[in-house]
């Protein structure tokens, strides 16, 4: 598996997808009707998810890490690496389940099942990691009461860390997963043709050399 993953072709594509994801992380927009403005939605998971479907779930896990490393070169951390750690974990929660399901069921239905499962797992993971890690950490910079109040301004049912995570962060990640999945579904076929076309070309050259 290691030898198959670390082919020249795969390493090149993993690097390209990771770099594109890192750049996309720099462009985010808020969803003020769901979560406070300090939660921004980006499309960084689109190239990672495409790469995961094309190369495999292990590649997806690697690309999530490389994406963050490249992003840190472009823009240093402002959260003491806690935000970057959370981003990797939440990203894994999306791409690894999606990649595993698609790996064993390589059909359109399998891809949809994978993205639905990944979105659900990402939403749950986002709730837990925000309640246990992110919100307590951000309380060092912004009073926790102010964070909760920002959530309550959107939905009065928010009253503590867990209700904030469930009511604001959960739906935020569900919307993110849906947007990322739709774009991936629209783009993947074209990108897949390019990737497998390169693979076919490499195989043809090898066969020609053997002859």
Res. 77 pLDDT band, cuts 50 70 90: confident
Report the candidate in 21, 50, 175, 173 with the shortest Cα–Cα distance to residue 114: 50
Res. 204: pLDDT tops 80: no
DSSP H or E segment with residue 187: helix 170-210
Nearest to 183 by CA among 57, 68, 24: 24
Residue pLDDT, tens place only, 182-193:
999 999 988 888
Q: Phi and psi at residue 54, in whole multiples of 5°?
A: -80, -35
Confidence label for 140 from pLDDT (cuts 50, 70 and 90)? confident
pTM above 0.85, yes or no: yes
199 pLDDT band, cuts 50/70/90, is low
């Amino acid at each position: 598996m290691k030898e198959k993953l670390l082919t020249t072709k795969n390493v090149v594509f993993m690097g390209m997808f990771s770099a594109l994801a890192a750049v996309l992380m720099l462009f985010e927009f808020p969803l003020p009707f769901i979560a406070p403005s300090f939660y921004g939605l980006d499309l960084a998971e689109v190239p990672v998810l495409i790469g995961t479907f094309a190369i495999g779930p292990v590649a997806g896990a690697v690309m999530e890490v490389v994406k963050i490393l490249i992003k840190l070169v472009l823009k240093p951390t402002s959260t003491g690496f806690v935000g970057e750690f959370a981003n990797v974990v939440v990203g894994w929660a999306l791409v690894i389940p999606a990649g595993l399901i698609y790996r064993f069921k390589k059909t359109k239905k399998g891809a949809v099942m994978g993205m639905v499962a990944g979105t659900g797992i990402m939403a749950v993971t986002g709730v837990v990691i925000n309640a246990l890690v992110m919100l307590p950490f951000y309380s060092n910079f912004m009073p926790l009461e102010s964070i909760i109040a920002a959530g309550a301004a959107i939905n009065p049912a928010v009253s503590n860390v867990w209700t904030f995570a469930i009511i604001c962060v959960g739906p935020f990640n569900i919307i993110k997963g849906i947007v990322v999945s739709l774009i991936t579904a629209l783009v993947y076929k074209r990108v897949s043709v390019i990737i497998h076309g390169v693979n076919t070309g490499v195989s043809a050259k090898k066969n020609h050399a053997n002859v």
